[in-house]
Structure formats: C-alpha cells, structure tokens
Amino acid sequence: MLEVLANRIYRHLFFAQVIALVGTGLATVALGLLAYDLAGAEAGVVLGTALAIKMIAYVGVAPVAAAFAEQLPRRTMLVSLDLVRAGVALMLPFVTQIWQVYVLIFVLQSASAAFTPTFQATIPDVLAEEKDYTRALSLSRLAYDLESVVSPMIAAALLSVISFHSLFGGTVIGFLASAMLVVSVVLPSPTPSERRGIYDRTTRGLRIYLATPRLRGLFALSLAVSAAGSMVIVNTVVLVQSNFDLDQRATALALAAFGAGSMLAALLLPRLLENIPDRQAMLAGATVLIAGLFIGLAATNYLALLPLWLFLGLGYSLAQTPSGRLLRRSSHSQDRPALFAAQFALSHACWLITYPLAGWLGAKAGMPVTFAVLGSIASVAAIAATRLWPANDPDELEHIHATLAPNHPHLADAVPVGDGHRHRHSFVIDSHHPEWPRLQ
C-alpha cells in the first residue's frame, strides 16, 4: 500500500491531508466537549444542529466551488482555503454562545466544501494507474481514520494537562502545515475540453451523477453510511458522559474504537478489492452497519459500546472507501472535479438529514429509539442501493447513436443500424452520451 508514497506529489498531498485531519480531529473532540459545556445533557441537540449547518454548507457550496475550480489554479485554491480554515479555527476557543458556534462552523465548513472535492479530484490525475489509485483511496481512508483514532488519543492525553479550548490550537497548526505542504508541489490542473457556462459547470457533476446507475446506488449507500456515522458522532458524548456517567477521556476512547474499526477495514480493502467487485464489498459494509445499529439496542454499558463502535467503524469504511473508484470509473478527467463535488454535496445531504435526527431523537426519544430509527433508515437505503445499482455493471456497453452525424469522429468504429450507429466502448455520461443505455 505504501508504494504510492514514492510519488513525490502524492506524498506531499497525503501528508498534508494527514496533518490537517489530525488537527480537525482535535477540533471534533473539542467541539463535542464545547457543546456539552454550553448545553449539558442537551449537547446532542447543539452538536446535531451544528453538524447540520456544516452539511448545509457542504451541499450548497461544493457544486459552485467546483465550477470555479475549473478556472483557478488548484494549488492556489487549496492553500487559500487552508488559510481560511486556520483563521476560523483560531476563533473557536473564544466562543461563549451557542449561536457563535453555528456561525463559525458555517464559515469553516464552507471553506472545507470547496477544499475537499478539489483535493479528491486531484489524486486520480496524479496517480493514473488503477492499482495505485486504489491504494491511495485506502491510505486516504486511513488518514480520515486518524481523525477518529489518533486525534482522540492525543486529545485524551492533552485533556489531562490543558482545557479542551486549547485543543483548537492543534487545528490551526494542522491547517497551516497542510498549506505549506500543498504549496511545495506543482499540481495538475486539467483544462476542460470545451468552454461551458457557469450554470453548466455548476450542474454538470450532478447530471452525470444522477444519470449513472452505479452512482445512484452510491447515493443510497451514502444514506446508510450517514445513518450509522451520525449515531456515533452525535451521540457518543451523550451515551458516555450522560448515560454511563464517565469522563471526557472515555468519550475520546469510544470515538477511537470507531476509528480503529474503520482503519482495519481500510488496511484490508486493497487486497479485498482485487478479488471481489466494489458493489459486493460496499453492500457488505452496509449490512454490517445495519446489524450494528440494531445490536445497539442492547448496548446498555460502556464495555458493550466499545466493541459495537469498532464493528460499526469496520462497516463504515467498507461501505464508503471504494466510492472514489466508482467516481473515477464514471467520468472523464476534465469532469472529475464536478463529479467529486456532486458526490460530496449529495452524500452530505444525507448527513444533513441524519445528523439532526440523531441529535433530536437521542434527546427526546432516548437512545434505543434512535438506534432503531437509524437502523431502519440504513436498511431501506441498502435495499434501494441493490435496486439502483445493477449487479451486471460492465465498463464497456454497447449503445446506439441516433443524433450524431455519420461522419462524426466518435463513430469511426461504429456499425450502421436502423436510424443510427452502434458500437461498444468504455461508457461514461458526457456530451456524446447524455443518457445511460438500456442493457441489451
């Protein structure tokens, strides 16, 4: 897996991601504790609302940012957004009112909504080989898991000597270090093959996404992932500190258990995906998430919660990590920023539903009801994914062009048939292929 780090550009980007995510992980722990400090037992409501605001920023900003990303140098854009995020993190320790949390979270996550899809779309351009890109996806998943494992462990150690407000300083350092690493390399910035208006650039990724069956299935799986993830992220602090009457370090350890499960799956995935299709692996992950949420009905103490969170982390990574392979497979290089932005926005639209639901149900109906409702949502989503994403999903598809001129270069290998021309090739949605063909 580590062979891809021999690529200097990817190596710098990877470590930029790791450092920024460790800092973000410290902020995640600190934000949960800040919510508890401001609202007590109602912390789940505050945190759920704050995270819903984060999702609103993600859903609204990502497609627009992707449209402008086609016209801006990627390195300049990424570094500028890191600096904005560092500035906002610097303000968080001084928050004294709940509304201030909401405002700063919106600004911070708007910058992240522009940063993340641009960053993700750069990696397939840096690593052209499918095997290298798969390894990079697993390494990226490991980097995200540092937010759930290493950061809480660091936070647990630091909380014994400093207040949780000081944890936000680690976030500032992480974003500044990320900016320095990004600025140290030259990034590819593919030029669009054709000039497009702002509306077309803003909506293109969404149109490609929704016209591609495997990506419609990915959308459904994203809802299952968000249902389980919201239960963990929103309600861990309430379960541990209110229901089980334990301390802040126990909260950090529970979050670390979830991250450890996700890390384990990420380590196994490169070899696993050499032997089974993405669809099978991702549906298996969704099944683990569903089982874990319903098992949660019986998790009445801390010792039961830790292995459950580990189990959910395993399913979380298994269901989510291969998504980059699907996006790469479903687009031309010039459309990848828009498509990654569409996935970013649509997947976080799912979190926009499940974050506040997890918080409000946990506070008003109790944890057993919350586990059951989120488990039911994940079940419906997984069933929908099996219907939307056909098991027979080849790269090359036979299809007929009825509107292209007979002498069009794209039809060089096509055979005349009826009112059009038929041929077969690796199929993605683009200007020549606006609709998915019916399987013959």
* Domain definitions of the chain by residue range: 2-187+198-388
Q: What CATH code would you report for 2-187+198-388?
A: 1.20.1250.20
Structure tokens that stand for 76 in this block? 């300049």
Which residues, other chains included, contact 392 with Cβ-Cβ below 8 Å and sequence gap of 6+? 439
Among the listed residues 53, 299, 149, 168, the one whose alpha carbon sits nearest the alpha carbon of residue 45: 53
Query: What DSSP state is assigned to residue 241?
Result: I
Q: What's the pLDDT at 153?
A: 63
Q: What's the pLDDT at 28?
A: 67
Neighbouring CB atoms inside 10 A of 175's CB total 29
Among the listed residues 149, 182, 185, the one whose alpha carbon sits nearest the alpha carbon of residue 21: 149
> Nearest 5°: phi and psi at 273?
-75, -10
Q: What's the pLDDT at 150?
A: 64
Which residue reads 């995935």 in tokens?
269
DSSP 57-124: HHHHHHHHHHHHHTTS-HHHHHHHHHHHHHHHHHHGGG--SHHHHHHHHHHHHHHHHHHHHHHHHHHH
- Which residues are paired to 169 by β-bridges? none
What distance, in Å, lies between the first and last C-alpha atoms of the chain?
A: 38
Q: What's the pLDDT at 220?
A: 97
Q: What is the CA radius of gyration of the chain?
A: 22
pLDDT tens, per residue, the chain with 440 residues? 567 888 888 898 888 878 877 777 677 677 767 777 776 766 667 766 776 777 787 777 777 776 666 667 788 888 998 999 899 888 888 877 777 878 887 888 788 878 877 787 788 888 878 778 877 877 776 676 555 556 656 766 676 667 667 777 878 888 899 999 999 988 876 555 556 665 666 788 889 999 999 999 999 999 999 999 999 988 998 899 888 888 878 887 888 888 889 888 888 888 898 889 999 999 999 999 999 999 999 988 999 999 999 999 999 999 998 888 898 889 887 787 778 878 888 888 898 889 889 988 998 899 999 999 999 999 999 999 999 999 988 888 888 888 888 888 888 888 888 778 889 888 888 888 888 887 54
Q: What's the pLDDT at 174?
A: 85
Q: What is the pTM of this model?
A: 0.76
Q: What's the pLDDT at 387?
A: 96
Question: What does the alpha-carbon distance between residue 90 and residue 166 come to, in Å, rounded to a whole number?
Answer: 10
Question: What does the alpha-carbon distance between residue 264 and residue 269 come to, in Å, rounded to a whole number?
Answer: 9
Question: What does the alpha-carbon distance between residue 357 and residue 227 come to, in Å, rounded to a whole number?
Answer: 9
Q: What's the pLDDT at 122?
A: 81
